Structure 1
């Protein structure tokens, strides 16, 4: 067995990998998968790091909500696919939550972070939870892709294809699934040149390969098991001499434990070979006096099985730093020259390695090393294998823990496949696309005789139940009005007389369906002008505004005392125009900047601090329809002069200009709705000339 760890080289904080690297560009989107899940941790830690948020929910309150809303609204997609047993949690509907339902479990831990100039791929053993990122001993690999990078592009493209397949275990038609696949489309098309291909690379000292485990397809095809893929990846003509396995979970003691046989088959058939198991364990207190075994290892005794006399099995107790619970999974294969190190989500179980009747979804990276090409690099990678201490198997008590895939799943009710997609949208049935009336559409797949009821998060009262569904004729889709202020992030589902509840996550039909935070609703014109005229971030300007607003009573007293402040010049057309002039210029500059995503452009044009919000504030606060018509015409004229230029990786210029042109048409409608057609003839003529120029 290879010697292990003399240093802590290779250890790091997983959250640091979510921080954008230098020159990464604008955030575009995130796709992630997890088995267990903490929605608050993902939103407040992972997404916040990815977006580069300056505020936090604990200390900054409204400023955090504003900054989060502003930056999430610009993303093309932010989405997490979680095993159905653990897919739950209140959250912002600016990001999607998808339940994965399959015969095994969704156990892969993949994070794909996309910025305009950079893509980062992370594959490891850590779930998107506080424990996974801060408490456990985990293992993960990071590959960075950008223009001129030498990372293996096959890993990125193969992972993109894998993510396309895994989302099918949730849905193929829901808007959230479409957003997921659209982001993959972008990665595959825009980033295919951000790395090196195997045909163009000389054999390096380290190669990186992907290793995915998937259940059998509906056609009956069974993918290659993890052992089959390792055998294909191994670079030498004969098998390795040794295998070291680190895993917190194994097949149960009463099972055949097929992975034990398969790992021996992977090694060479002649000469001495060694398999070492690195597991969690503790030394017994007072073992000498009490006559107990010295060690308690969390593993089944079936690991001791060997195929022949020249095969040696060894055991080691992982000595995790700071007594961290072991959750890392890995297989280290080695001979006199080469090593292959598999890391990722696969436990050393039949389901985890894809050799049982029920395979999981798993994701791993395999690092293939050549000691003759770079011995220093070889040792550096070897140093990342968890430190451990060899123990005598004859002096061990075997206490295998419950299988992770079974024990955790039993703690939560999985949402049955009968409950399809739940989607929140705006009700456009009255022909008003700007309607504030929300609706929730519930999809039901097949029939169900067992009782069920849905309740809004945090309440016990049934919001919808099987009686109402059956009374409506058991339809495949039910659309219900939503009258509460904020859209639901999910429903508690009670199933018959079962204890506990399942969680039915809700996603949005479109980001435009979501209302802004209360702090950004119907902002005064003066505040919008400050926002547009300032080079500071939105949340900082808004923090100042909210602070000033809280002192309104004091300001009213000052105004009453100072006679100069009692003079109201806000109704003077020329004065108002001068105040708007600078804001309109900055607005145009903001609109004409290249947009990394269409969502960014929509936010600039239609968001709560966008062009349409400014026009509506003008119409709301103008002293007359005449003033409103004139100022909105000026806004439209400035908007039409936006000089949009092409930029690689950004929204196409033609699309960008079309969106601006469409908004100009809406501004004309706003003038008409506000009574601008009753303005004096000379102003009407001016407004008409403006829109004639814009149209031309």
Structure 2
């Protein structure tokens, strides 16, 4: 949810392991954009508002592990698959408004379970002018997101949009916070901890972050998953190495559990812990291991991950996506991509703050390990245990675009090499759209561009590999926002409707909802027309009447166009969107009863645009760029003038129109 003074939405990039496209679009993006409508109750109004607000974003993109990168969606936002030796397991959201940037790093996937059902943990850092948040965390997060997208298709047109948003954050927002030198005596420090293939392990980073000369006395670990029982369980040894090597030290594990029914009568163990008994291993007699069952409120499944380290003065709390596994902490053969925040607390400076943060650690109760039945939960977040079919690397990028005639096309990029026979199915159907035999027969085995004749662009293709029953998913992204056709409700709107939209101060979706409701009832009341003789007089041909009706709308349009905007995408939407200036010009050219009327009204439109007074505003599109885009639009308006008008236009009118366009196009 945007904070009060956040400003207008600019963009969002996020990463997730499992993913629910409908939840992200209808809940997460809707909150970020501040949508007033919803798909269940508002139908076309929701589609219009979503289109209107998504089109203004610089970027909306999600990077998802290739095993879970699927889902029907609007092509106004990008969906990118990540392929790793391990898995893409990081959960990062970077939310950008014109006056605020929010970094969210936690344990929750972008799913309804992650945000509404599981016991999860989030760390949130809000950056704005005067913020006390650490700048280093912001820049380290943007750098991590740059590296993260390198595990996806790098030549996709979605990648520049991802980078462009990160560039904006690094250039415009790097002063929104404090540097380490200014926080030396602060009672809490925050650092990032990222785990990557061939990178520094999570344990080595914790050792480096620990503020004291000797290691911590205690370590408390909460995790739903661990290395399998038959493994060495290397993270156990790493924890003991992380703790101080002399004196008594304690490692406590906080895990999900169930009480076994009838345990007293049947002589069974009392508790069934979702953990392997290899956690009991200790290196020496002065090392103590404890087990605790997490008290799960409302029977919520445990999905939070955390490590709490402490001595007599300091505490270090790691929260995020890393399970207590070799892959999650970056010490195995296959390292995941993980993201965590680490809070460093000084109890000597602020003991109350330390206790307040400690209270966020999941509540638990001690259990006797001798009364435990060890039943670790099957790790469905492990690369070797994933049952979903991943899209092979042979399938590169699928891109929707429009050709010069405005017809849709999809370009399929293949990485080359060998691949088993496959077919591409149109989403939601069993209809084959393309197959490997077509690829083999073509002259170009790497790239195929095929026409797309259906109204709505596909959000992806289901891929059947060989004779397998399960289907992989090949997401489609758009070449540019200009390649997307508007919703049917916004196509080729009549001039009267556009005048009402431009002349109204109400949001687009509200005005359109009223218009659509009237269309359902009737376009006009025939009875009233028959009774009132004045209504039988059609004045639509009168140039003066048209000009009067247009003048107010043109003034409102100019004010809308000249208003500073945080993104070039918003400006393009105002100029070229389905309710933008060029749509109004096309409606004038289409509906004018004479070429003279069309030429005169287009000249008035160009003249009004030339009066736009763009004011320089911090964080908004540069004034010179803004004005240049308006000038380029005026050039396109001139192209709508009919060349074959001939003598049908009065000479003085033709001269006036030419003089207007000569003046406004410099």
Q: Give the structure-1-normalised TM-score.
A: 0.94
Of residues 208, 212, 216, the one that matches 1:236 is 212
1:343 aligned residue:
319
1:62 aligned residue:
44
Tell me, in whole angstroms, the C-alpha distance in 1 between the residues paired with 2:606 and 2:619. 28
1:489 Cα deviation (Å)? 0.5
**For each residue in 1:534-583, what CA deviation from the matched residue of structure 2 results, as whole angstroms up to 9, or x when unmatched?**
11111111111111111216623332333222211111111110110010
**For each residue in 1:275-307, what CA deviation from the matched residue of structure 2 results, as whole angstroms up to 9, or x when unmatched?**
000000011111000110000000000000000
- Most deviating of 566-575 and 240-249: 566-575
1:411 Cα deviation (Å)? 3.3
Tell me, in whole angstroms, the C-alpha distance in 1 between the residues paired with 2:569 and 2:527. 43
Q: Does 1:589 align with 2:559?
A: yes
Tell me, in whole angstroms, the C-alpha distance in 2 between the residues paired with 1:283 and 1:237. 42
1:673 Cα deviation (Å)? 5.5
1:265 aligned residue:
241
- Most deviating of 443-452 and 553-562: 553-562
Of residues 516, 521, 536, the one that matches 1:551 is 521
Do 1:342 and 1:367's aligned partners in 2 also have CA atoms closer than 8 Å?
yes
**For each residue in 1:77-116, what CA deviation from the matched residue of structure 2 results, as whole angstroms up to 9, or x when unmatched?**
0000000000000000000000001111000000000000
Tell me, in whole angstroms, the C-alpha distance in 2 between the residues paired with 1:673 and 1:265. 82
Structure 1 residues not aligned, in runs of 5+: 1-18, 217-222, 429-434
Tell me, in whole angstroms, the C-alpha distance in 1 between the residues paired with 2:313 and 2:482. 57
1:493 aligned residue:
463
Count of aligned positions: 666
**For each residue in 1:367-423, what CA deviation from the matched residue of structure 2 results, as whole angstroms up to 9, or x when unmatched?**
000111111111110000000010000000000111132389633211110000110
Structure 2 residues not aligned, in runs of 5+: none
2:88 aligned residue:
106
2:181 aligned residue:
199
1:204-243 correspondence runs (5 A):
204-216=186-198, 223-243=199-219
1:15 aligned residue:
none
CA change 1:536–1:465 in 2 (3 A) is same
1:444 Cα deviation (Å)? 0.4
Do 2:567 and 2:620's aligned partners in 1 also have CA atoms closer than 8 Å?
yes
2:430 aligned residue:
460
Q: Does 1:663 align with 2:633?
A: yes
**For each residue in 1:118-141, what CA deviation from the matched residue of structure 2 results, as whole angstroms up to 9, or x when unmatched?**
000000000000000000000010
Q: Does 1:45 align with 2:41?
A: no
SS of the counterpart of 1:315? strand
1:449 Cα deviation (Å)? 4.2
2:398 aligned residue:
422
CA change 1:678–1:185 in 2 (3 A) is farther
CA change 1:399–1:675 in 2 (3 A) is farther
Of residues 495, 500, 522, the one that matches 1:530 is 500
2:583 aligned residue:
613
SS of the counterpart of 1:307? coil
1:262-411 correspondence runs (5 A):
262-406=238-382, 410-411=386-387
SS of the counterpart of 1:169? coil
Tell me, in whole angstroms, the C-alpha distance in 2 between the residues paired with 1:408 and 1:267. 31
1:20-99 correspondence runs (5 A):
20-99=2-81
Do 2:558 and 2:612's aligned partners in 1 also have CA atoms closer than 8 Å?
yes
2:616 aligned residue:
646
Do 2:17 and 2:89's aligned partners in 1 also have CA atoms closer than 8 Å?
yes
2:154 aligned residue:
172
SS of the counterpart of 1:143? strand
Tell me, in whole angstroms, the C-alpha distance in 1 between the residues paired with 2:179 and 2:211. 18
Tell me, in whole angstroms, the C-alpha distance in 2 between the residues paired with 1:112 and 1:58. 28
